[in-house]
Amino acid sequence: MSKRTRYWLMKSEPDDFSIDDLARVQVEPWTGVRNYQARNFMREMQVGDGVLFYHSNADVPGIYGIAEVACTAYPDPTQFDRKSKYFDEKASREQPRWELVDVRYVRTLKRPIALDDIRAQADALGEDFALIRKGNRLSVLPVTAAQWKTLLSLE
């Protein structure tokens, strides 16, 4: 990996795991990503990378907090757990399919940055910003330094 992305956006359904939950536990393994593109982004992550914590399927979808990458990627244990909803019968310990990183709480935004506000900045963010591309469903995506700055200026 020659080029390093320093910033990311990670989605979570707050009913499942919210920024408040992360504040309580401080560090959390980001289990359950079952999309190859999202997994590959997590493989690129390095300790200390900045993470925008996004609430999807929320009353007001948007960015609610800041976190950071706490370790590099390792196999997601839920893929081996028959009782987990994330169990994947095609994965084995010898040949894991899914990886994750641990995420550490940094802070909760004073005011969440709503998806509507993010869309209003589409020009500044650029058309390639995956979060606001039509039909986007990616749950882990890279953010440039400029996008990070633009987004946090909306807080």
CB of 131 to DNA, least distance (A): 8
CB of 68 to DNA, least distance (A): 21
- The residue ranges of DSSP E strands in 16-152, in sequence order, are 27-29, 50-55, 62-69, 74-75, 99-100, 102-114, 140-143
CB of 62 to DNA, least distance (A): 8
Residue 50 or 62: the one with the smaller Cβ distance to DNA is 62
Separation between Cα atoms, residue 113 and residue 3, nearest integer Å: 28
Q: How far is CA 59 from CA 5, 34, 105, 137, in A?
A: 30, 24, 22, 18
Under DSSP, is residue 149 helix (H, G, I), strand (E, B) or coil? helix
Chain residues that interact with DNA, rule: CB under 7 A: 11, 13, 34-37, 56-58, 61, 90, 115-116, 133-139
24 vs 137 by CB, closer to DNA: 137
12 or 150: CB nearest DNA: 12
Nearer Cβ to DNA, position 4 or 31? 31
Q: Maximum Cα–Cα distance for the chain, whole Å? A: 46
Least spacing, CB of residue 31 vs DNA, in Å = 12
